[in-house]
Amino acid sequence: MSQTPPSRRPVLRALMAGAALSTLSLSTLSLAARAAKRRVIVHEEEIDPDRYRNNPQTQAFIGMLVAEHNFDRAALDALFAGTAYSATVARLILPPPTPARRSWTAYRGRFIEPVRIGAGVAFWQQYGDTLRRAEAEFGVPADVVVGILGVETIYGRDMGNFRVMDALTTLAFDYPDTPNREERSTMFRNQLKDFLLWCRDTGTDAFSVLGSYAGAVGIPQFMPTSIREYALDYDRDGRIDLRNSAVDAIGSVAHFLQMHGWEPNRPVMWNIAGDADSQGIAAAAADGQPYPRMTLSRLTRAGLALAPGVEAAREQETDVLVVDLPTPGQPTEYRVGLRNFYVLTRYNRSFFYAAAVYELGQAVRQAMQG
C-alpha cells in the first residue's frame, strides 16, 4: 500500500502515550526474560538473543527510535533480544527460482470461485449495515470492499500466523541477497518503525500481533504504515482491531480507498469489444502503467470500441488506461480502466489483483441478487 494522504490517528493517542510506553517496557522485558535461556523455539524459528540485540544495524535503528520518537532504549533492547530470525520469512519473500509466466486465467480462477463467492455472500449478509454505512460515509461501494476482503483473506479465514515483529525484523535486517535488497530493507525498516510506534501508541504487546510473512495484519492485510494512516475504530469500541473486528476492517478499507482518491458513483473498468481493430488498438495502448493518462476519445478515434452495453457517451474526455490481462497460449484480455481502477492498484500494485477484486465483488453482488 502507498502512503500519501494525511493520517487519521486514534483519538486517545496523546493521552495514552505515556501509559503505553510503560506497557511496552513491562511486556517486552518480561518476554525477554523468558527468552534469555539463550535459545527459544517460536513456531519453527529460533531466537538467538544476541542476533538482533547486538547487531550494529539494529542498534543504530534503536538509537534512531530513541532520539526521534522518545522510545525507552532498555525496552527496545529487551524486545529485540526476544525477536526471532525467520528463515521461513526469508524464503517466502523471494521470487520463485524460475518465475512462472503470468496467467490471468489461472489467477482469476483462484479468486472468482464458488468458495469465495459463497463466503462473500455470507459476509455481506452479516455486515450489510456496516457496508452501507461505509458506502454512505466514504463513497466506496459494498462490492468493492467485499472484493478486497475476499481476495486478501477470504473474509478473515487466512490472515497469517507469523509474529509480525519477527517477520519485519527479519526483512529489515536480514533481507535475502537480491538486486533490490537495499531498497526492500529500507522499506521494511520503515514498516518496522511504524509497527513499533503503533504498538507503543496503542499499548499493544509487539509479540502478540500475528500476520503474513511480509508483516501484513488482519482481515484487510494492512501493513503497519497503513494501519497508522488509515485504520479506523469503526465499531467504536475504543480500539482498532483489524484481526477480530470485521467492522473495523470494512471501515478501514473504505477509508483507505477514499483517501487515495476513490470517485463515488463512478465506474471501475469497462470491457472492450472483441473485433480485431479494437483489440489491436488496446494492445498498442497497453503500456503496463497504472495511471489514467489518455482520454477515452483518443482511443475511440483510433478505432477502439467498447463492448456492447457499455454506456460511455458522456465519458469521452475521461482519462483512462488500458489494462492488459495476459494468459500464455491465449489471446490477451484487455479492459479500459478508469480512476477507480487506479485507486485499487494503490492497495496492491497489480492489474491482476485490481481486476480480481472488481470481478469478485461483482460476482458476489450478482449472487446476492439471486
Pairing type for strands 162-163 and 45-47 reads: unpaired
- Contact between 232 and 250 under an 8 Å Cβ cutoff? The reply is no
What does residue 14 show for φ and ψ, rounded to 5 degrees? -60, -40
Measured distance CA(202)–CA(31) in Å, rounded: 18
Three-state SS for 332? coil
Query: What residues contact 295, with CB distance under 8 A and at least 6 apart?
Result: 316, 317, 318, 319, 320
Q: Among candidates 269, 200, 159, 258, which has minimal Cα distance to 10? A: 200
- Contact between 154 and 115 under an 8 Å Cβ cutoff? The reply is yes
* Residue whose cell numbers read 527510535: 65
Q: Among candidates 165, 126, 123, which has minimal Cα distance to 147? A: 123
Q: Among candidates 81, 8, 3, 73, which has minimal Cα distance to 39? A: 81
* Catalytic residue set: 152
Instruction: Specify burial of residue 130 (Cβ count, 10 A radius: 0-12, 13-18, 19+).
Output: buried
Distance of CA 203 to the CA centre of its chain: 23
Three-state SS for 301? helix
Pairing type for strands 319-325 and 333-337 reads: antiparallel
Query: What residues contact 225, with CB distance under 8 A and at least 6 apart?
Result: 1, 3, 190, 191, 194
Q: Is the dihedral of CA 129, 134, 139, 143 positive or negative?
A: negative
